[in-house]
Chains A and B, each alone.
Chain A
Amino acid sequence: MKKKIIALLLSAVMVMGLAACGGDPGTPSGSGAEGSTGSEVTDNQEPSQSSGGKILSVQIGPNPETIDPALNSAVDGGNMLLHNFECLLLVGQDGTLQPGQAESWETSEDGLTWTFHLRDGLKWSDGSDLTANDFVYSWKRVCDPEVAAPYAETVLSMVEGYDAAIAGDLDALQVAAPDDSTLVVTLNAPCSFFGSLAAFATLSPVQQATVEANGDSWAVNPETYISNGPFYVSEWVPSSYIMMSKNPYYWNADAIKLDGIKFNLIEDSNAAYSAYQTGEVLMIKDVPTEEIPSLEGNGEFYVDPIIGTYYINLNMKEEIFQNKKVRQALNLAIDRDYVANTLMQGTYSPASNFMGPGWIDTDGKEFVENANGGNPYIDNADYEGNLAKAKELLAEAGYPDGAGFPNIAYTTNDAGYHKVVAEYLQQAWAELGINMEVNIVEWSSFTPLRRAQNYDVARNGWVGDYSDPSNMLDLLYSSNGNNDGKFANAEYDAAMDISRTTLDPAERSQALHKAEDILMEEVGCIPLAYYNDFWLQSDKIVDSWHSAYGYWYFMYADIVE
């Protein structure tokens, strides 16, 4: 018997020889990596705890596609940029604008000229001087058609000369540096929230010499990824981790307590949760939804609002949805409390308005507090009453108990709670006698389909870029590229036009509220729930905060045992 076993083992060794032969084209270690460049070589070094010091290990999303400030359009990329770069202004913990690289700033009386005064002695993370000219270069770069920055229009379209710049004449953009510490921006129309844009990551300064020498790949290799924020990237192993180290040249470096932050690029929420449980990471953004019920009441589980709304588009091209009463009936027949608190496990909040918490009115107050005379547009506490009214409205529209109502379809991709919501709506609108089927579409096909209005009813959502209400109300402007339902209302457009041009804060506020009034009365879309961020964070992390934009600020954090 023993002999047989030995013989079997020998046979295994023989077969291994075969395997080795077969493995040739891709000899495992090393050799393949020679073809790659610089730091992309993913030889598995020990994670950089070896660099020593106090390193905070967190998870705020998978591998970012880009961390070039001009190219980024994603929240997880934005979270990285926040720690690496500093704009002219920044958003403080209380949500207000604060001095960043600019120490002070002022606006001319006509609101068209913005002047920023930079701090003295600003430096890049490589120790070289940073001047106002760096901002001039960086802002013009955002307009460069060769760069094709996705957010160019959002952040710079109000600057004089933008149209010419985006067409290729970069120097037409009216951004100038009369001296090394002054930046003057001339706008083509007043923009009361331009300060928020000056704090927007797309407008971070980038170092001209490095970017020009390396092209797009400057933002891929830590050696060339020169930044000006509290931290700089010292290592990036794609899909594994981004290691950031404290930037000694940052103007406020003395206030930075951590030596480094390790952003673990974990893609799978269960893997993130495991790593959190074992203590390998101290904070995770991606909490598995099936774990949420067991985390209720856990002091390390946080739920915090972000500015954004989950809403439903009705395709306004379709005759049935051109009937206002039909839209109102559909809007009222939803039990939002149940959707947000039960189906979505409290990770969303029931929406009563289109504009939820976090949007700031011109008087500095929450926009939602001033909306509709301080009352919610939809009374979520009275679902039964709403449903009765919805049935009435549908009857008035000519479809009593849904009789004669055409069959409709709800289209969504399958992620998060989208499917659960779809099934709920199917059930909720069945109460009105409406027959709706659910179409689940692959994510990459879903967006183009929705944009082409190839649907009856579709899921939609928006998370704000900055807290000015126009950022979201603009979505329903008739010609907006994100107006997927093609809601078109002349009064609404007129109100938004006023909000864009007026310099009077009260008039502007009034116009914005009027727009929301019209939207909610006309049911331009059906708001369902407000977004929250929910995450797990150990008590060992102190002095970090989360903002309504969906960002986590770890730069001033510390770890206590």
Chain B
Amino acid sequence: MVKYITKRIFLAIATIWAVATLTFFLMNLVPGGPFMAEKAISPAAMAALEAKYGLDKPLGEQYIMYMSKALHGDFGDSLRQRGRTVSSIIFSKFPVSAKVGGLAVIVALCLGVPLGCFAAYKRGKVTDSIISVVSTCGIAVPGFVICTVLMYFLGVRARLLPTLGLTDWKSYIMPVIALAFYPTSYIMRLMRSSMLDVLGQDYMRTAKAKGLSQRVSLFKHALRNAILPVVTYLGPMIAYTLVGSFIVEKIFTIPGLGREFISAITNRDYTMIMGTTIFLATFMVIMNVIVDIVYKLIDPRIQLK
């Protein structure tokens, strides 16, 4: 196990390095720059800005400079949000996104897993059909539609919930529903199909034949095997949900990290692009290691090599 984890950590570092390097050169290939605006700034001001941030140096040199600083934990200043460092932006905004996203993950699991099991158990019945329809909708309907519909009915028409920012517990309801809708539906489907698969296995029949109670056979034997695909999905899902969603944060005016991923790119804010990418990559890699360990805990047959 220790050997395995050490190996994974080395692999993780290599992955993050590869992602960072690729991003660095790709973003510099894209036309435009951080100081391009509709009104051209004077060549003198442009030169001064580029000199200030080292953008006047050859790309290779910029890369080495950036990487050596990043290794020391210095991700530089944002090129567009002047006066703010990349790490201060990420670490002040991530907790906001993680709070909303964390709630959404919990909701998705609490609803998705039991409803998926239930649908499998009631296969072919009306309940199953209802759950299927809902989960198909949840996967097919784009996030901004859900946000807008929620905002219109609960916020504007019924005036039940605040539409702006995160002020009290009520203001979390709409963003959490909007964020949880897709993963809930996805988990329901995953859970249903893998549960159906497991229920048809020989050992389930054996369990039944042995006279095990429905409850024990379902929860001790079936669920433990059926949940594995959900666990696989959980790794990236948690990472993506906790770092926030551009659309949900934009529509509900939540000062989270999600929108920074997109605006960094549209603004060509190079240091922010690097910072957010490395952050997400690291998060993703850590989640995957955790998922592997959880696998082992759930299913002792799995060998970690």
Interface residues of A (CB under 8 A from B): 3-4, 7-12, 15-16, 18-19, 21-37, 40-44, 46-47, 65-66, 68, 71, 73, 145-146, 148-153, 166, 215-220, 237-241, 264-268, 270-271, 274-275, 277-278, 280-281, 442-445, 447-449, 451, 461-462, 481-482
Q: A350–B283 Cα gap in the complex (Å)?
A: 52
Minimum distance in angstroms from B284 CB to a CB of chain A: 10
Report Cα–Cα, A290/B103, bound state, in Å: 33
Per CB-CB distance, the 9 closest pairs between chain A and chain B, nearest first, are A444-B32, A216-B83, A148-B48, A35-B91, A145-B48, A481-B40, A239-B255, A28-B102, A240-B255
Name the residue in A12, A237, A281 with the highest tally of chain B Cβ atoms < 10 Å from its Cβ: A12
Q: Of the 9-residue stretches B61-69, B134-142, B199-207, B231-239, which lies at the interface with chain A?
A: B231-239
Q: State how many angstroms separate the Cβ of B126 from the closest Cβ of chain A.
A: 15
Report the separation of the CA atoms of residues A278 and B154 in the bound assembly, to the nearest whole angstrom.
11
CA distance A151 to B35 in the complex (A): 13
Chain B min CB distance to A169 (Å): 14
Which residues of A sit under 8 angstroms from B51, Cβ to Cβ? 145
With both chains docked as a complex, state the minimum distance between the C-beta of B56 and any C-beta of chain A, in angstroms.
12
Given contacts A22-B234, A22-B294, A444-B266, contact A238 B109 (CB under 8 A): no
Q: Which of B84, B152, B159, B250 contacts A40 (CB 8 A)?
A: B84
- Give the docked Cα–Cα distance between A148 and B79 (Å): 12
> How far apart are the CA atoms of A448 and B31 in the complex, in Å?
7
Given contacts A25-B286, A28-B103, A30-B95, 11 further A-B contacts (CB under 8 A): A8-B114, A28-B99, A40-B92, A42-B255, A151-B41, A216-B77, A239-B93, A274-B156, A444-B30, A445-B31, A451-B40
User: Could you say which residues of chain A place their CB within 8 Å of the CB of B238?
Assistant: 19, 22-23
| Contact between A264 and B164, CB atoms less than 8 A apart | yes
Per-residue interface assignment for chain B, residues 256 to 278, with 1 indicating a CB less than 8 Å from any chain A CB and 0 otherwise: 10010000001110000000000
- The verdict on B52 contacting chain A, using a C-beta distance below 8 Å, is yes
B42 touches A26 (CB 8 A): no
Check if B259 sits within 8 Å of A239, measured CB to CB: yes
Residue of B43, B94, B164, B168 near A280 (CB, 8 A) is B164
Partner of B294, one of A18, A65, A219, A277: A18
Q: Which residues of B contact A18 (CB under 8 A)?
A: 109, 231, 234, 294
* CB proximity of B177 to chain A, nearest CB, Å: 16
Give the Cβ gap from B247 to chain A, nearest Cβ, in Å: 9
List CB contacts (< 8 Å) of B156-172 with chain A.
156, 159, 162-168
Contacts of A25 in B (CB 8 A): 283, 286-287, 290
B39 at the interface (CB under 8 A from A): yes
Looking at the complex, which one of A10, A443, A462 makes contact with B266 (CB distance below 8 Å)? A443
In this assembly, does B129 line the interface, its C-beta being within 8 Å of a C-beta of chain A?
Answer: no
**Is B291 on the interface with A (CB-CB < 8 A)?**
yes
Q: Which A-chain residue is minimally distant from B171 (CB atoms)?
A: A44
| B residues near A46, Cβ cutoff 8 Å | 167-168
Residue contact A26 to B283, C-beta cutoff 8 Å: yes
B148 neighbours in A (Cβ, 8 Å): 270
Interface centre among B44, B117, B167 (most CB of A within 10 A): B44
Q: Are B253 and A240 in touch, CB under 8 angstroms?
A: yes
- Please give the number of chain B residues whose Cβ is less than 8 angstroms from any Cβ of chain A in the complex: 92
CB A134 to nearest CB in B, in angstroms, measures 20
Hey, which chain A residues are within 8 Å of B253, CB to CB? 239-240, 264-268, 271, 275
Write out the residue numbers on chain B whose beta carbons fall within 8 Å of the beta carbon of A8: 114, 117-118
Q: How far is the CB of B97 from chain A (nearest CB, A)?
A: 9
Is B5's beta carbon under 8 Å from chain A? no
Among B35, B87, B151, B159, which residue has the most Cβ atoms of chain A within 10 A?
A: B151
**Which B residues are CB-close (under 8 A) to A65?**
80-82
B103 contacts which chain A residues (CB < 8 A)? 28
Instruction: Name the CB-closest residue of A to B77.
Output: A216
Q: Is B218 part of the binding interface, using a Cβ–Cβ cutoff of 8 Å?
A: yes
Q: Verify B36–A482 contact, CB threshold 8 A.
A: no
Complex-state Cα separation, A271 to B152, whole angstroms:
10
* A238 contact from B91, B93, B242, B283, Cβ within 8 A: B93
Bound-state CA distance A146–B93 (Å) is 28
A32 touches B91 (CB 8 A): yes
Q: With A146-B48, A448-B33 in contact, do A36 and B88 touch (Cβ < 8 Å)?
A: yes
CB of A543 to closest CB in B, whole Å: 25
- Shortest A140–chain B CB gap in Å is 14
Contact at B37–A150, with CB atoms within 8 Å? Answer: yes
CB contact list, B90-113 vs A, under 8 A: 91-96, 98-99, 101-103, 105-106, 109-110, 113
Interface assignment of B25: CB less than 8 Å from any CB of chain A = no
Question: What residues of chain A lie closer than 8 Å to B96, measured between beta carbons?
Answer: 42, 44
B12 at the interface (CB under 8 A from A): no
Q: Residue B45 contacts which of A41, A148, A444, A482 (CB distance < 8 angstroms)?
A: A148
- Least Cβ–Cβ distance between A12 and chain B, in angstroms: 5
B residues within 8 A CB of A281?
164
Q: How far is the CA of A19 from the CA of B104 in the complex (A)?
A: 11
- Complex partner residue of B223 from A11, A47, A267, CB under 8 angstroms: A11
Contact between B109 and A16 (Cβ–Cβ < 8 Å)?
A: yes
Q: Could you pull out 5 A-B pairs where Cβ atoms are within 8 angstroms?
A: A22-B291, A26-B242, A31-B95, A267-B250, A274-B155
How far apart are A450's CB and chain B's nearest CB, in angstroms?
Answer: 9
Chain B minimum-CB-distance residue to A38 = B88
Bound-state CA distance A27–B159 (Å) is 32
A216 to B80, CA, bound (A): 12
B36 x A444 contact (CB < 8 A): yes
- Give the CA-CA distance A281 to B152 in the complex, in Å: 16
Q: Is A19 a contact of B156 with CB atoms below 8 Å?
A: no
Q: B213-262: which residues lie under 8 A (CB-CB) from chain A?
A: 214-215, 218-219, 223, 227, 230-231, 234-235, 238, 242-243, 249-256, 259
Q: How far is the CB of A362 from chain B (nearest CB, A)?
A: 24
How many Å lie between the Cα of A275 and that of B219 in the bound state?
47
Contact B151 A271 (CB under 8 A): yes
Instruction: Given A42-B96, A216-B83, answer yes or no on A275-B48 (Cβ-Cβ < 8 Å).
Output: no
CB distance from A5 to the nearest CB of B (A): 9
B49 at the A/B interface (Cβ < 8 Å)?
yes
